[in-house]
Chain A
């Protein structure tokens, strides 16, 4: 079956540091890949997505590239801010009838001033 593995947190960074959160996946076919972000006490919201190999999703300074050869979708940001503190979820979705989304366990990011 499908699975998503992301690095365990919490990840603590100083403001303006470089961020990488690793995500690897196992899936059949050609899934779409997503990063969702959850701020404290809220629901999830889409951060970025990529639907085919070598696609790069980007939003709000965050980027992730769909690497089929390494089955990875690592999230990066060049300079984090305190407001980026949240939990980040990597997810995948396969097509074919029902859109089942498989989520990773989430990585908590804390950015300190």
Chain B
């Protein structure tokens, strides 16, 4: 079955630590996205990538970094510079630019110890 997988489901970060959230898709989609979801705030875009080896900052990129070395993979690193990382992180993909539907993974909940 085609889809998007995210791992881990839960992730704990210690003070000053960088952590990486995994996102893999087998839908052959060109575009991939990372969103942050906080209670009552909807989704906010962190980074997006339209093609391999290219990515752009979204609305709240500070304290985060990404890479897009393969079409299938778009990992997100939450760095120690992100002072309030506790949130639900959602990865999504779509066929490409335009008005297509975005397909979401199951999410990773990041908690700070």
Residues of chain A whose beta carbon lies under 8 Å from any beta carbon of chain B: 31-32, 34, 36, 41-46, 49, 51, 89, 93-101, 103-106
Q: Judging by beta carbons under 8 Å apart, are A32 and B99 in contact?
A: yes
Set of chain B residues within 8 Å of A31, measured between Cβ atoms: 99
Is B90 located at the chain interface by the 8 A CB criterion? yes
- Residues of chain A lying within 8 A (CB to CB) of residue B48: 98
Q: Which positions in B face A, CB cutoff 8 Å?
A: 4, 6, 31, 40-43, 45, 48, 50, 56, 90, 92, 94, 96-107
Inter-chain contacts of A103 with B (CB < 8 A): 42-43
- Complexed CA–CA distance, A98 and B98 (Å): 7
* Contact assessment for A104 and B105 in the assembled complex, using a CB-CB cutoff below 8 Å: no
Chain B residues with CB below 8 A from A46, complex form: 101-103
Is the CB–CB distance between A101 and B40 below 8 Å? no
Closest B residue, CB atoms, query A106: B42
Q: How far is the CB of A43 from chain B (nearest CB, A)?
A: 4
Q: How far is the CA of A105 from the CA of B43 in the complex (A)?
A: 7
- From A34, A95, A105, contact of B40 by CB (8 A): A105
CA of A106 to CA of B94, assembled, Å: 21
A44 with B42: CB separation less than 8 A: no
Contact partner, B99, options A36, A44, A99, Cβ 8 Å:
A99
Nearest Cβ in chain A — how far from B108, in angstroms? 10
26 contacts between A and B (CB under 8 A): A36-B104, A41-B107, A42-B107, A43-B4, A43-B6, A43-B92, A43-B104, A43-B107, A44-B90, A44-B92, A45-B103, A46-B103, A89-B43, A93-B99, A94-B99, A95-B99, A98-B56, A99-B31, A99-B94, A99-B96, A99-B98, A99-B99, A99-B100, A101-B45, A101-B102, A103-B43
